[in-house]
Structure formats: C-alpha cells, structure tokens
Amino acid sequence: MAVKAGDAQTENSTDLLDLAGQYGPELARRAQEIEKARKLPQDLAERLSADGFYAMCNPPEYGGRGESPLTYVRAVEALARADASAGWCTFIATTAAYGMAFKKSAAVQTLLNAPGVITAGIFAPMGRAAAHDRAGVKGYRINGRWAWGSGSQNAHWVSAGCFISDASGKIIPDDDGKPQHISPILAASDITFIDTWTVSGLQGTGSTDFQVTDVFVPEERCVQGFGSARADMPIFRFPAFGLLGAGIAAVALGTARGALDDIYDLAVDKVPAGTTSALAAKSSTHRDIARAEAAVRQGRAFFLEAVEAAWVAAKDGDVPIALKRDLRLATTSAVDAAKTSVDLVYELAGGTAVYRTSPIQRRFRDVHVATQHMMVKQATYELAGRLFLAQPTDTSQL
C-alpha cells in the first residue's frame, strides 16, 4: 500500500521521539558533566544536530526534517526529562534555524544545509547594524554585546538581534517612527565570548554573553521580518513567537516529569528522619504526589491542545489572534504548572534534595531559571486577559 506524505511524516516523527527517549540514559548519566562544563559538550551537540534535532521544524530545503510544532515540543520535552540543559539547547537551535529560514536567500539555504550545522540565536535587539557596502556587496556593519547566548558556544552560526542604525549607532526609525529590527547571522569565528554564565540553574546551556566589533555581514545573511517575512508553508504561518515560547514550556514540562521520576525512585527507600516508615507509605506523600501529577498533567494538556489548534489553523491559512493568544497563555501556564510540580517534589524529598548529587535539586534550580524567560513572564497573563476582555492590545509578539 502506498504511504501518503502525511503518514510518512508521522512515521518520521515517531522515529525522532523514540530517538529522543534513547538519549535519556546518557543525558542522565552525563548531567553532572554538563553542569560542571557550564555548556553542552560538543560531542552531544554534534550528535543532536546529526540526528535531526537542531533544525527539526525547518522544511527539507532549509536543512530540516519538516516536523510539526507538536513533534518539536514533545522531542524537547523528552530530552529535558533527562537533562533540562540539553532540551534547552535543542529548542534554541531549532528556533534559531527556523528564524534564519525566514530569509529566503541562497546563502542562508546553503549554510542551513551544511551537514551537521549547529545554529543558535538571540532575538532581542541588543546590537546595532549600520548599512555598509564592502567591495560592492551590500550589507551591514555589526556591533554589539548580547546576553543569554544559549548554545552559542557550540554553534557554527549565531543570529543576533540588532536595531538598524547610522554609523554612530543612532537608531534609524521606519516611516512610522518605530525602530527597525534585523537579525544578522554571524559566523562563529566573528564572535568573542565573555564568561558570564555562573548561575543557579540551566547551567549546562552555556548561555554566556558574546560580542562582535565592526563585523561585516552581507545583506543576504540578514533576516528581517521574523515571523512575517514568509508564509508559503504552514510552519511559517505558525506563530513564530509562539514557537519560541513553546520550547520553554517543553523544557519545563520535561523537567517536571523528570522530577517525578526521581521522587518515585527515592520514595520507596527513603525513611525521613524521626519516622519509621518509608516516604512512599505516608499519606502526606500521597497527597502531594497527586497534586504534583495533577499540576503537570493539567498544564501539559492545555499546552498541547493550544499547540495543536494553532498548527491545524496554520495548515489551512492564517492563525487567528484567539489561537495565538491561547498558545502564549498555555505556554506560560505550563511553565507555572511545571514549577508547582517540581516545588512539591523538592519539598517531599526533604534534606536529600539539597545536595548537589541529587537530580531533584538540579531540576528545582533548572525550572526556576526557565520561569525567568521574558516569553513566559507574568505579563503574558495580562496580555491574554486584555484580549479576553476585548481591550486594545499590542499583538505584534503573539
């Protein structure tokens, strides 16, 4: 019987999710190594790229597997269940490659199709891009310093948000008086890293600062219009900022599920001080385990529902504002639910969880750092609430 294109994608998606699960034992075994290095070991980054995780949502002509957003979040979640930093670097690489693909140029297509290419990126416009011609090639002279460079030390190419400026660094507004945003794609050789990444959680993501000084980037490697520059395929009609935020929720949910795995192993043998029965036998444990399970399952259910609804709409055409709203709301809600679940597990584990040798304390630190990302801050609830109440709202980053 002939295999339909949609069936083939389902089979490929299953293969990728199975493969993500297969990484679990190694990532768990190497979690301390990853944290101590304060970045993902290069061999892991290279294998994750070679196995198709680092550009999974891109269409094949732009170096990817053409996976759906649902497969993307489930794959990141599965990796984060073993190690949150590995899941985080995967979501960053995936969304960076996706963002680069909005530039329909031969140069970007070529770099994304290079075997084993690793990408990273920062959308926030912390740099300046001044128009410049070099030997007849139009482009921009880039200067700036960026924070939160997750995965950038592993990458071959890094996109870095800039405002278009004049030669002195003064921002040049568009015709409506608004700053103009552009994301040049920088070669790794042009980047200088500044070691700032000594942090409480997600330590293995290598999210250190980096800077460039007077680097020329040709126009064909500069992305303008992230999320709006093309709509010729469903993945490019899917809410771009929603895809970015969804990776954070996937990491948080995977971290919470991993913490529950840990407490189930611990509770059987741990006898809390001053008691004679195992943690698993106590009624208070039963109550809080149930609360932790309910929190993560509820958050995950709304999250996957919102991702699927937006994806179904993107396959047919434009995604309505209401579905974009739900996606951002579900993403932030999922992160909050994951935090609640991990906090309950951490408290149940008692003194065991304060030691660096405990995976529960690492997951506690990791999930609390994930909550600090601007895409899942509490202001998301205000944004969604305004839309529910039909109040005037800036929806440009939905």
* Among 197, 223, 249, residue at a domain's last position: 223
Q: Are 253 and 158 in a shared domain? A: no
What is each CA distance from 256 to 2, 23, 290, 333, in whole angstroms? 40, 18, 13, 14
Q: Are residues 377 and 286 in the same domain?
A: yes
In a domain, residue 107? The reply is no
Q: Are residues 364 and 288 in the same domain?
A: yes
Q: For residue 233, count CB atoms less than 10 angstroms from its CB and return exposed for 0-12, middle for 13-18, buried for 19 or more.
A: middle
Contact present, 335 and 248 (Cβ < 8 Å): yes
Are both 127 and 197 inside the same structural domain? Answer: yes
Please name every residue paired with 5 in a beta bridge, in sequence order, or none if there are none: none
93 and 180 share one domain? no
Is 258 in the same domain as 209?
no
CATH number at residue 173: 2.40.110.10
For residue 273, what is the domain's CATH number? 1.20.140.10
Instruction: State how many domains the chain has.
Output: 3
Residue 370 lies inside a defined structural domain of this protein? yes
Query: In this structure, is residue 112 part of a structural domain?
Result: no
- How far apart are alpha carbons 323 and 118 in whole angstroms? 31
Nearest CA to 142 out of 191, 178, 195, 82 is that of 191
pLDDT at 269: 87
Residues 328 and 217 reside in one and the same domain: no
Q: Which of 223, 249, 265 is the last residue of a domain?
A: 223
pLDDT at 203: 98
- The answer as to whether 395 is a domain residue is no
> Would 113 be classed as within a structural domain?
no
Query: CA-CA distances (angstroms) from residue 59 to 4, 45, 221, 303, 316?
Result: 17, 21, 18, 24, 17
Cβ neighbour number for residue 280 with a 10 Å cutoff = 15
pLDDT in tens, the chain (398 residues): 232 333 344 456 779 999 999 999 999 999 999 999 999 999 999 999 999 999 999 999 999 999 999 999 999 999 999 999 999 999 999 999 999 999 999 999 999 999 999 999 999 999 999 999 999 999 999 999 999 999 999 999 999 999 999 999 999 999 999 999 999 999 999 999 999 999 999 999 999 999 999 999 999 999 999 999 999 999 999 999 999 999 999 999 999 999 999 999 999 988 887 777 899 999 999 999 999 999 999 999 999 999 999 999 999 999 999 999 999 999 999 999 999 999 999 999 999 999 999 999 999 999 999 999 999 999 999 999 999 999 999 998 89
- Beta carbons of 76 and 355 less than 8 angstroms apart: no
Those residues whose C-beta lies under 8 Å from the C-beta of residue 328, and which sit 6 or more positions away, are 239, 241, 242, 245, 375, 380, 383, 384, 398
* Alpha-carbon gap, residue 125 to 120, rounded angstroms: 15
Q: Are residues 87 and 160 in the same domain?
A: no
Q: In this structure, is residue 232 part of a structural domain?
A: no
Residues 249 and 346 in one domain: yes
Domain that holds residue 345: 238-388
Q: Are residues 163 and 298 both part of a single domain?
A: no
Looking at the structure, do residues 214 and 291 belong to the same domain, yes or no?
no
The predicted pLDDT at position 1 comes to: 28
Q: Which amino acid is at 312?
A: V
| Judgement on whether residues 315 and 340 belong to the same structural domain of the protein | yes
Asked if residue 278 is part of any domain, the answer here is yes
In a domain, 114, yes or no: no
CATH number at residue 40: 1.10.540.10
Most distant CA pair in the chain: distance in Å?
80
- pTM equals 0.95
| Domain termination residue (choose one: 182, 200, 223) | 223
